[in-house]
Amino acid sequence: MNLTNGFAFTCPFKTNSGNKALEHLPVELASLNAFKPLIITGRDLAGRNSIRTLTHAFGDSGMTLGLFDDIRNTADLNVVEQIRDFFFKGQYDSIIALGGGVIVDVAKTVNLAAALKTTDARQLSEKTAIPDPLGPFVFVPTASVTGMETSKYAVLNKKTFVSMSLMPDLVVLDPRLTKVKDGKTIAEAGLAALGRTLEACAAPDANPFMDAYALAALRFIRENLVGAINHCGNKKAALAIANAAAMSGCVISNTDRNVLYRLGQIFQNVVHVHPGVVIGMCLNTVLSDYMKQDSRLVSVLLRPLTTEDEYASTPEDKRADRALDTLNKFMNELYGALKGKMPRTIQEAGIPRYLMDDIFDVINQEPDGAYLRTVIDRAGSSSVKS
């Protein structure tokens, strides 16, 4: 890590994690000067039980809650405008996004639209100047997350809004909501966080503050992800992965041009595949490229990927190779635990040729499109189904 060039780092959100974390919400909202929150969620995506658990947590706090629970995967800026209208008419003063993925993209964009009082949400463009601060914004994840919920990005209608002010003020991780029903859901979340965070640590612009979040996230993933897949009832392991996913959003917001992040987004936007699936496929290829560039970039990954003893006993010049070996072993174990429920290559994913062409169209518009394409090729698109 080279500090001489200087750096900037921000993590605007507070993390509350653990038993009865939701019950702290009234006090936390009051400390943000918020007393009438609107819950934005999807009853099918986040589940009715989650909504019930969240609303019950307000008990006799006296707070008035609003609920918009009709976010679906197809949500767009029209929905944002609809919720913005609901937000104003109900005179809400804050937003609680319950769930993950598209729900949070919508909720962040509603927060933006609500701050831009005169703008119709449908008119929002990537050029819209994003105010700082926006209104109080709380994110309450369920198990089904992408890790981007806590980030500075919001993506809707193929538009990407970017600002640190889009990040939540507070993230509430409650084991009643982050528990999982199937291994695939948690594997997707874990892989997305793992890949983006590992690449961020290897990148030349890493800094110690970002690294602190990354280290905590990576250790949680290493110690809990396979267990969480094998034992879906393990609430603590699932909570650890939810923590890691939330931390990874902070990491990704403090680094630039992360290849795995961008590939994950492109596949998600074009073919609606969870970014974790794609990141899992491309992780080894991208890190091997970092290795070719400078093995020291990869050698720093050994510490979060292994035990203190193994790290200490590995000579410095062997750390990069050992880091990749350790990662490969971990990935094999993980895919093994998934028992074929997640494709390991793009070929296995069975993405039809015409959709791959759409993906390549988007990739070609990226400044390093030629490189990204080689990553995809090596991750197994050469024999996609026609």
Partner 1 sequence: MILPDYYEFCCRVKIVAGHDALEKIPALLADMGSKKPLIITDKGVAAAGLVDIVVNALKDGIAIGGIADNVPPDSDLRVVNQLAGLYRDNGCDAIIAVGGGSVMDTAKGVNIVVSENATDLMAFSGAGALKRRLKPLVAVPTTAGTGSEVTLVAVIKDHEKHLKMAFTSYFLLPNVSILDSRMTMTMPPFITAMTGMDALSHAVEGYYCLQKNPLSDAHSLAAVNMIFKYLPAVTKNPSDKDGRLAMAIAACLAGISFSNSMVGLVHNLGHATGAVCGAPHGICMATILPYGLEYNMHKREEIIAELLLPMAGEAVYLKTPKQERAQKVASLIREMNQELNALTGGRHPRCLQEIKDRDGKPLVPREILPEIAKAALSDGASIYNPEDTDYEDNLMVLEAAWEGKPLDRSKVKKG
In this structure, the strands spanning 153-156 and 159-162 are antiparallel
**Diameter over CA atoms, the chain:** 64
Q: Evaluate whether 384 touches 367 at the Cβ level (below 8 Å).
A: no
Give the rounded distance of the alpha carbon of 5 from its chain centre.
28
Kindly write out the interface string for residues 109-138 of this chain, putting x where it contacts partner 1 by CB under 8 A and - elsewhere.
Answer: -----------------------xx-----
Q: Which of 92, 213, 261, 267 binds partner 1 (CB under 8 A)?
A: 213
- For residue 209, the minimal CB distance to partner 1 (Å) is 6
Q: Report DSSP letters for 187-209, one per residue.
A: HHHHHHHHHHHHHHHHSTT--HH
Query: And the tokens for 165?
Result: 């002010």
Residue with tokens 């819209």: 128
Q: Which stretch binds partner 1 (CB under 8 A): 117-125, 267-275, 279-287, 304-312?
A: 304-312
For partner 1, the binding residues in 30-69 under the rule CB under 8 A are: 30-31, 33
* Residue 17 interacts with partner 1 (CB under 8 A): yes or no: yes
| Residue 226: partners with Cβ closer than 8 Å, 6 or more residues away | 330, 333, 334, 337
Q: Which of 204, 208, 233, 352 binds partner 1 (CB under 8 A)?
A: 208
* Residue 74 interacts with partner 1 (CB under 8 A): yes or no: no
Cβ proximity to partner 1, 148 vs 170, nearer residue? 170
Cβ proximity to partner 1, 113 vs 214, nearer residue? 214
Query: And the tokens for 376?
Result: 């995809």
Closest CA to 68 of 53, 56, 58, 80: 80
Cβ proximity to partner 1, 78 vs 307, nearer residue? 307
Q: Which stretch binds partner 1 (CB under 8 A): 12-20, 109-117, 143-151, 354-362?
A: 12-20
For partner 1, the binding residues in 235-274 under the rule CB under 8 A are: 236, 239-240, 243, 247
Instruction: Report the C-alpha gap between 46 and 41 in whole angstroms.
Output: 7
Q: Which stretch binds partner 1 (CB under 8 A): 82-90, 187-195, 212-220, 225-233?
A: 212-220
Query: And the tokens for 239?
Result: 């909570």
CA dihedral (183, 185, 187, 190) positive or negative: negative
Cβ proximity to partner 1, 13 vs 290, nearer residue? 13
Site residues for partner 1 per CB under 8 A: 3-21, 30-31, 33, 132-133, 207-209, 211-213, 215-216, 219-220, 223, 236, 239-240, 243, 247, 308, 311-313
